[in-house]
Amino acid sequence: MPLDTLASPAPPREPILTLPGALTAYVGLLAAIHIIRMLLPVDLEYWTIEVFGFIPKRYDQTLLSMPFPGGNGAKVWTFVTYSLLHANLSHIGFNVLWLLPFGSALARRFGAVRFFIFMAVTAVAGAAAHLVTHEHALAPMIGASASVSGAMAAAIRFAFVRGSFLSFNRGDADEAARVPALPLLRALRDPRVIGFLAVWFGVNIIFGVGSIAIGAEGASVAWQAHIGGFFAGLLLFSLFDPIPRLQRTGSQTSSRDMSDLH
């Protein structure tokens, strides 16, 4: 009589795409706000854009200045709240699509509190860049693209140290997202970082996928806000990063190569 063989238990299956809780909450917030706005009457929907969108004209100190809904408070909160509004489904879809890989790595590395503060800070930087370049513009700017750009810039500080953080396996993604980051000047000498920067700037200048300015002349791309958020993420990353910087030692150079993550 043949002996029954005991099959080894199958390894637990993981979801195809695992997102950290902070990123899931952020995307859920963007989606919930957009759904609520879609259900509002047209007049009230646009009122929310005027109150929470970023309008450079709101800060005009000339005799041609005009009142806007929200008063002085809106001059403060719209530096952040504009990043939570989107023009349409394709607008929010593009931002979420770019955010999923880079935002996941950043949320895993920073934790929830640092991640949310970082997204707010890069939104402020994007609004400031837009204000400087559109001093008297009346069209509201909305969209999370400045924050998404900041997350992308921060992620490249550690993305190429040992392979890539883009993995469908939660354990690999957690490990890759927590590798020590390169100092900024060293990172900027990495050909892969330079290549990424070239592609990113090219995409934004040529196609301008991201933040939308809504006005009488239709929609246009606020690419200056993208650049403001990107540089803020690149330069301020170290202030948020809880992982000590990379120190090249023999043990690190002999550590497992993670280039098979994709």
| Owner of token pair 């800060």 | 59
Task: Among 2-11, 20-29, 44-53, 183-192, name the one with the lowest average pLDDT.
Answer: 2-11
Residue 244 pLDDT: 78
Beta-carbon neighbour count of residue 16 at 10 Å? Answer: 6
Q: What is the pLDDT of residues 137-187, one digit of tens each?
A: 888 999 999 999 999 999 888 877 765 555 444 555 677 777 888 888 888
For 82-110, what is the mean pLDDT?
91
Helices (H), ranges, the chain:
21-39, 42-52, 71-81, 89-110, 112-133, 145-159, 170-177, 184-187, 191-206, 223-240, 250-253
Residue 171 pLDDT: 53
Fold of 21-244: Rhomboid-like fold (1.20.1540)
CB contact at 8 A, 212 and 141: yes
Domain boundaries, the chain: 21-244
**Three-class secondary structure of residue 204 per DSSP:** helix
Which residues are within 8 A (CB) of 140 and not within 5 positions of it... i.e. 6 or more apart?
Answer: 49, 50, 53, 54, 55, 82, 213, 214, 215
- Does the pLDDT value for residue 236 go beyond 90? yes
Residue 168 pLDDT: 43
Residue 198 pLDDT: 87
Residue 119 pLDDT: 97
Q: What DSSP string describes 16-74?
A: SS---HHHHHHHHHHHHHHHHHHHS-HHHHHHHHHHHSB-GGGG--STT----TTHHHH
Task: Among 115-124, 141-150, 181-190, 224-233, name the one with the lowest average pLDDT.
Answer: 181-190
* Higher-pLDDT residue of 11, 150: 150
What is the C-alpha to C-alpha distance for residues 117 and 75, in angstroms, rounded to an integer?
19
Residue 156 pLDDT: 86
Residue 163 pLDDT: 54
CB contact at 8 A, 157 and 93: no
Task: Among 66-70, 111-115, 116-120, name the one with the lowest average pLDDT.
Answer: 66-70
What is the C-alpha to C-alpha distance for residues 143 and 212, in angstroms, rounded to an integer?
6
* Higher-pLDDT residue of 217, 228: 228
Q: What is the pLDDT of residues 203-216, one digit of tens each?
A: 777 655 444 544 44
| Owner of token pair 């790595």 | 105
Q: For the chain, what is the mean pLDDT? A: 79
For 129-138, what is the mean pLDDT?
89
Residue 130 pLDDT: 93
b/e code 223-250 from CB counts within 10 Å (16+ = b)? bbbbbbbbbbbbebbeebbeeeebeeee
* Higher-pLDDT residue of 197, 6: 197
Q: What is the pLDDT of residues 247-257, one digit of tens each?
A: 543 334 333 33
Rg, Å, the chain Cα set: 21
Tell me which residue of 129, 136, 157 sits closest to 63, measured CA to CA: 136
- Model confidence at 195, pLDDT cuts 50, 70, 90, reads confident
